[in-house]
């Protein structure tokens, strides 16, 4: 089965709505072209699936899950996604994001506690109460209405705000369940250190890109910081730095008219060539090509 870039899939599928780094796919049964094998747009994907009726069999290449009514799935850092089967009575929404898009969206106050990340890494599927499903559905339906209004001057900003509310509703449900089980407590050196690292990273990503600097600020060795961060997030410190830095550069490319050379200087790269090499390694595109494609898509 040939892999399809999920952004290309979204642009060609009449049941999809697309924005830069984000595809919203409305599944109503009788989908053509199934099974389908999706891959990231130069980066890993983050995928949210909300099933309202019917059945969908999907997952990573190495593990498929059967999603039924009131199931919610969250696949983090997927290099690929397989949608194996969709029942004729299925009704669902699938949201696919690039990692830089999510990093940019959640850069100021990530709502998810480390326990949530650990939970969905182990088992990405959960069954939610009907009230929670209704809340999430209202957010998604708002996104659809925003997508349909192509004349709105602030469409992209409204999408991001609605997505942010959707993420907070997800986090709120997770925290509520942990409180009910008596498990929610901000304890443990590792969880505290991880949260401190993330806050430090979001504050200093413009000027600091080395593992050693963040370790020194937290008064631990780079090795200990890396072990701690990876044990909680399954990503190394350097991978977090790269993802956050890429998202910050993308924000500048999309939302400012600064020359690429000025952006490289603002982010303390030694020169433009170094930033170009870094950005292309992360996204598969040069900064100039990324900006040109984004400008053309507006």
Q: Which two tokens stand for residue 231?
A: 């044990």
With respect to residue 176, please indicate whether it lies within any of the assigned structural domains: no
Q: What average pLDDT does this structure show over 157-186? A: 80
In tens, the pLDDT along 253-278 reads 988 899 999 999 999 999 999 999 99
126 and 193 inside one domain: no
pLDDT greater than 90 at residue 161: yes
Instruction: Give burial (CB, 10 Å; 0-12/13-18/19+) of 160.
Output: middle
End of a domain among 130, 151, 177? Answer: 130
With respect to residue 65, please indicate whether it lies within any of the assigned structural domains: yes
20 and 114 inside one domain: yes
Long-range Cβ pairs for the range 143-150 (8 Å, 24+): 143/17, 143/24, 144/17, 144/24, 144/26, 147/17, 147/19, 147/24, 148/17
197 and 125 inside one domain: no
Eight-state DSSP code of residue 40: -
193 and 91 inside one domain: no
Q: What average pLDDT does this structure show over 65-76? A: 92
With respect to residue 157, please indicate whether it lies within any of the assigned structural domains: no
Q: At 2, is the secondary structure helix, strand, or coil?
A: coil
End of a domain among 91, 111, 130? Answer: 130
Residue 128 · residue 70 · CB < 8 Å: yes
Please state, as a whole number, how many other Cβ atoms lie within 10 Å of the Cβ of residue 184.
Answer: 14
14 and 119 inside one domain: yes
End of a domain among 130, 160, 178? Answer: 130
pLDDT greater than 80 at residue 296: no
201 and 125 inside one domain: no
Phi and psi dihedrals of 91, rounded to 5? -140, 120
With respect to residue 140, please indicate whether it lies within any of the assigned structural domains: no
Structural domain count of the chain: 2
- Whole-model pTM over 0.75: no
Question: Which domain range does residue 22 map to?
Answer: 3-130
- We report the CATH number of the domain holding residue 272 as 1.10.10.60
Q: Among residues of the chain, what percentage have pLDDT more than 70?
A: 93
Cα separation, 292 vs 296, in Å, equals: 6
87 and 19 inside one domain: yes
With respect to residue 147, please indicate whether it lies within any of the assigned structural domains: no
- We report the CATH number of the domain holding residue 62 as 2.60.120.10
With respect to residue 205, please indicate whether it lies within any of the assigned structural domains: yes
219 and 289 inside one domain: yes
Instruction: Give burial (CB, 10 Å; 0-12/13-18/19+) of 218.
Output: middle
11 and 124 inside one domain: yes
């Amino acid at each position: 089965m040939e892999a399809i870039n999920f952004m290309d899939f979204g642009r060609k599928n009449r049941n999809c709505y697309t924005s830069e780094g984000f595809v919203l796919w409305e599944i109503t049964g009788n989908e053509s072209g199934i099974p389908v094998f999706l891959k990231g747009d130069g980066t890993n994907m983050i995928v949210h699936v909300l099933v309202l009726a019917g059945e969908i069999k999907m997952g990573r290449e190495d593990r498929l899950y059967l999603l039924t009514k009131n199931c919610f799935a969250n696949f983090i850092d997927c290099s690929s996604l397989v949608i194996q089967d969709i029942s004729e009575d299925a009704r669902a929404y699938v949201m696919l994001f690039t990692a830089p898009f999510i990093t940019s969206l959640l850069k100021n106050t990530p709502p998810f506690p480390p326990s949530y990340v650990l939970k969905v890494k182990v088992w990405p599927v959960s069954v939610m109460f009907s009230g929670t499903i209704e809340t999430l559905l209202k957010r998604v339906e708002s996104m659809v209405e925003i997508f349909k209004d192509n004349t709105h001057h602030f469409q992209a900003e409204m999408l991001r705000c609605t997505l942010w509310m959707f993420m907070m509703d997800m986090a709120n449900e997770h925290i509520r369940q942990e409180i009910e089980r008596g498990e929610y407590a901000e304890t443990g050196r590792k969880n505290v250190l991880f949260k401190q690292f993330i806050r430090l990273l979001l504050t200093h990503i413009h000027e600091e890109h080395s593992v050693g600097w963040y370790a020194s600020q937290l008064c631990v060795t780079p090795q200990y910081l890396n072990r701690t961060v990876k044990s909680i997030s399954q990503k190394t410190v350097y991978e977090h730095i790269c993802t956050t830095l890429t998202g910050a550069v993308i924000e500048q490319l999309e939302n400012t008219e600064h020359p690429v050379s000025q952006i490289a200087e603002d982010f303390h790269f030694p020169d433009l060539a170094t930033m170009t090499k870094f950005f292309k390694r992360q996204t598969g595109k040069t900064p100039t090509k990324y900006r040109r494609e984004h400008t053309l898509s507006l």
